[in-house]
Amino acid sequence: MIRLLVALVAGSLFGAGLAYSGMGDPARVQGFLDITGNWDPTLAFVMGGAIIPMLVAWMIQRRMAKPLAGVTFSLPETKVIDRKLAAGAALFGTGWGIGGLCPGPALADLALSPLPAFAFVMAMFAGMIAHRLAL
């Protein structure tokens, strides 16, 4: 039960942060990525505001034997940057630039502006299914 409550609070905080920061606005995201045109630097502050607390969280996590609401930490098993990781990152970045959304903000946008987000979310789920079938 505590894990469910922690997940609900974390997800709600994440969604509120996405809405408040403007990450759910594709035009803002695309404006940030348009470094040669009408560049919008506000997303850099959002990213900075996310990186700093995450650095603190990593420092705290290293001193903990186990998570507060779980049995073990779910951490990446490898730090190797291989072809599959690089290709996935490039594909993600390309989709993010074209659509102006990534999975978290897209799901949050279902509550903020459902019609535009719905097409993106359906395409995202189709891509996830295609990936599963290709494995």
Kindly report the length of the chain: 135
pLDDT at 90: 93
Closest CA to 32 of 24, 22, 23, 40: 40
The domain spans of the chain are: 2-134
Report pTM.
0.68
HSE toward the beta carbon, residue 102, CA cutoff 13 A = 15
- Orientation angle between helical segments 2-21 and 103-112, nearest 10 degrees: 80
Tell me which amino acid residue 69 is. A
Per residue in 69-111, pLDDT (tens digit) is 878 888 888 889 999 899 989 988 888 888 888 888 888 888 8
Give residue for tokens 């922690």.
Answer: 6
* Whether residue 55 has pLDDT greater than 90: yes
